[in-house]
Amino acid sequence: MTGTPAAEAAEAVAAAGAEAYPRIVATLIRVTGDWALAEDCAQEALAVALERWPGDGVPANPGGWLMTVARNRAIDVLRRAAVERRKLHDLAVLTPVDAEPGPAMGEDVVDDRLRLIFTCCHPALAIEARVALTLRTVCGVPTAAIARLLLVSESTMTRRLTRARTRIAQAGIPYRVPSGPALAERLPGVLAVLYLLFTRGYVADGEPAFADEAVRLARLLDRLMPEQSEVAALLALFLFQHSRRDARRDAAGALLTLDRQDRRRWDHSAIAEGLAALARARDDGPYAWQARIAACHATAASAEATDWPAIARAYDALSDLRPSPVVALNRAVAHGYAYGPAAGLALLDAARTGGGLDGYPHAVAVEADLVARQGDRLRAAALFRRAAEAVGSAAERSALLSRAAELDP
């Protein structure tokens, strides 16, 4: 706290906005059907708050205040555009209560924010459009920031968002949460958008803001759909990985593998939140197994104390459920720690048949580690160097080269 009224008000606007923004946008889209109008009015409400709250003080119900300002703004715009009377009426009867956390989701009470998330993540939109639209509309990230994060110019991102909103209207994508069997079909696609967002933020040279947004979104989705096991599992997975964000690099910025991280610097409240979420998940989905693996790491007092047999079993289950070259590679790693490097190398050989791991530098790094643990230091160092040549990120390259230097100074 800096103490000035302007700074305190700015903090209050940021805090209230984070909670209220998606609710305001979602509600205004439902009532007006106009995505751009909803976003503009929500942004304007935040701007008005920044202007007024330093002098007037923070209102007792900041979210309700923002909702009222945004709604009044929407009424003004629509009145000027002289749209149908029904929309105006619907807006006029919206009370500020709409900006307050509603009752628990029942059979027929669907939170507007959930509609918004499912519409932004509709499979009839391209995956990049889903990510950008979710960041813009659900998270309220400014277009310029999304453009920076996704490495395109702001004007390109503006056009892309406009195209996505137009497509929603033209193609007839409904503003609705699917029900019954359709929900089970569509939910994985929503979770995939969140997962993509998180991994973009979590990769070595990634943008941490992505990971933060993904965690916030997963928390929101979990609050809105507490009965969905895979949502709880995905939130847990994010929290376990995110708990290591301050311990992943050394003072020089180089990436540290799990066994080299200072576990006191892990975020233990995030781990506790993750364990609570995981306790609500069943053992039948891909995210549940990934979260159980992450939980084994997060709860181990030291690298040596890691329950590798439990991790190996979880990878066995995951590779039955969702076979892929990367899962097969990680399964080899887990078996290598649980049952010795020879067991790991045997599974690595099996994972490499079919060529799915060709040109995947991490497979070479895994082989290097297993060979090192068998005692062949020179061959391991050569493999680490080969992996370093092939990785894309500078942070990973320097981590691999320093392993090689330790083995073959």
Partner 1 sequence: MKYMMFVCTDTEPDTDPSDVPDIHAWVAENDARGRRLQGDALAPTTAATTVRVRGGELLVSDGPFAETTEVIVGFDLLDCADLDEAIEVARAHPMARHGRLELRPFAGLPG
Choice between 75 and 183, CB closer to partner 1: 183
Q: How far apart are CA 304 and CA 297, in angstroms?
A: 10
Choice between 92 and 182, CB closer to partner 1: 182
| 182 is a contact residue toward partner 1 (CB under 8 A) | yes
Which residue, among 49, 42, 50, has the nearest Cα to 24 in the 3D structure? 42
Choice between 173 and 256, CB closer to partner 1: 173
Q: Cα-atom radius of gyration of the chain, to the nearest Å?
A: 24
CB of 175 to partner 1, least distance (A): 9
CB of 182 to partner 1, least distance (A): 7
Burial class (CB in 10 A: 0-12, 13-18, 19+), 193: buried
| 127 is a contact residue toward partner 1 (CB under 8 A) | no
CB of 129 to partner 1, least distance (A): 15
Q: Which residues contact 138 (CB under 8 A, 6 or more apart)?
A: 22, 25, 26, 113, 116, 117, 120, 217, 220
CB of 110 to partner 1, least distance (A): 15
| 170 is a contact residue toward partner 1 (CB under 8 A) | yes
- Containing H/E element for 156? helix 154-171
Tell me the sheet residues that pair with 255.
249
Q: How far apart are CA 245 and CA 211, in angstroms?
A: 10
| 33 is a contact residue toward partner 1 (CB under 8 A) | no
| 142 is a contact residue toward partner 1 (CB under 8 A) | no
| 178 is a contact residue toward partner 1 (CB under 8 A) | yes
Q: How far is CA 241 from CA 264, 277, 281, 302, in A?
A: 15, 14, 17, 16
Which range touches partner 1 (CB under 8 A), out of 30-38, 88-96, 172-180, 370-378?
A: 172-180
| 174 is a contact residue toward partner 1 (CB under 8 A) | yes
CB of 178 to partner 1, least distance (A): 7
| 183 is a contact residue toward partner 1 (CB under 8 A) | no
Of the candidates 36, 173, 275, 390, which one interacts with partner 1 according to CB under 8 A? Answer: 173
Strands (DSSP E) found in 318-406: none
Q: Which residues bind partner 1 (CB under 8 A)?
A: 122, 124, 170-174, 176, 178, 182
